[in-house]
Amino acid sequence: LLFPQAFPAGKDFSPLKFNNQDFTHLRDYCLSRGLLFEDDTFPTHVSSIGPNLLSEDKLSRLQWKRPTMIERNPHLVVDGVSRFDIVQGEIGDCWVLAALGSLTLQRQFLENVLPKDQGFEENYAGIFHFRFWHFGDWVDVVIDDRLPFLNGRYLSVQPRSRNEFWPSLLEKAYAKLRGSYQNLHWGYISDALVDLTGGVQVQFLLQKPPSDLQEIIKAAAKSQCLVGCTTPGGVKLKNGLVKGHAYTVTGATEIPYKNGWEDIIRVWNPWGHGEWRGPWSDEMSCQAFAEQFSLLCICNNTPSFLEFGDQHGTRWSLAMYVNQWARGLTAGGSNYHNGNECPKDCRGTINNFLPFQGLRDRLPVAFFSQYKSKILKCGFNVATRDVTNYFFLSPGTYVVVPATSEEGQEAEFLLRIFLRMLLSPCYMEKLRHREAE
């Protein structure tokens, strides 16, 4: 199946109804009968929390409360949406909240995830809805507003303002999409960034950072990307950072320092406290950033950060395909690795990839057996749901082979190919002339 784009555009955008629940219909039904909505597809039950997140004793003491039971005058949003509205709760979902913090900086994405047709002031019926990108489709997730509390404290994310509830309700909707609150307890920031944008994410391992790291981050900020990062686990940090933790990158710039310039990067901790105590306080040098963090993740609806802010010389197009791996047919796996670790960075130029430019029919099984040693084996040792690589290619015909990590695994998959076509110097000059007019 081929789709034109991943990100919704225009007023005709209509997401799928998750669990076949229609927000407007359900709210109107409750309002007409004077009821507060109770979601039987994500009930106030251990199944919504998850069996292993809390001990049996804590599960027995869990309470579910509506915002109207907690505050006299609750609001969905107070004075706009900000990352400073978020304070992480008992659940280890920093990967979600760091992505959410980045989302608040990019209104073009935020307004899609957080619909405005809801609140506590008008037509309140205990029902809310939020939108997420879910395996190739935008889905509208309906929830009731009963939130889990343990010993009088939020189990999930808590709002910094006592009467502002968008963070807690959005997190509940995401927990419902993922199956339970337990499924938010540890994960990958790259997954959350994609789910909040429908975009494409690219990761950079900072043990061997690219030489143009600062330029990449500045280009990401200029092109309104979402940017997050993580610290390595198993390392004791005495500089204010938290090990094995996700952060939001909120800015990158250069400032005059001594007799030159210093590249600095600003990060935000979803805990709401605990910041970098090294030079530059909440901000740090690019060198310190690469030393202290293990992973940088950048996401946008197109890989615009690869343009380094240049909008003249490139145009992006997207092809999106949905298919499945079937045992004995297409689930071939990647066992040709023979235990070797796949490349950590698969960027680069592909020359003389495979000699099949003249083929026009379906590739036979023998083809893959013959050339499997030449196939670029990228991403199979990465446990993330989403594997992304980018390449610089010469004109020609190429084969992209999605593969399972083990032979015989069956699942559906989504393949998206973003293409950037370099424009001719003549055409670029015409664009500049047109803009000058």
Residues involved in catalysis: 94, 245, 269
- CA-to-CA distance for 143 and 128, rounded, in angstroms? 6
- Dihedral pair phi/psi, residue 263, rounded to 5°: -80, 125
Contacts of 401 (CB under 8 A, 6+ apart): 368, 375
- CA-to-CA distance for 381 and 60, rounded, in angstroms? 40
HSE, side-chain direction, 13 A CA sphere, residue 99: 28
- CA-to-CA distance for 105 and 81, rounded, in angstroms? 9
Asked if 216 and 231 count as a contact pair (C-beta separation under 8 A), the reply is no
User: In terms of C-beta density within 10 A (0-12 exposed, 13-18 middle, 19 or more buried), how is residue 101 classed?
Assistant: buried
Q: Is 274 left (phi over 0), alpha (psi -120 to 50) or beta?
A: left
- CA-to-CA distance for 208 and 345, rounded, in angstroms? 9
- Total H helices, total E strands in the chain: 12, 18
Q: Which of 247, 219, 249, 206 is nearest to 345 (CA)?
A: 206
CA distances from 146 to 29, 94, 134, 369 (A): 18, 22, 24, 55
Q: Which of 49, 266, 38 is nearest to 146 (CA)?
A: 38
CA distances from 37 to 9, 102, 126, 166 (A): 30, 31, 5, 17
Does residue 362 sit in helix, strand or coil? coil
Q: Is the dihedral of CA 191, 103, 171, 324 positive or negative?
A: negative
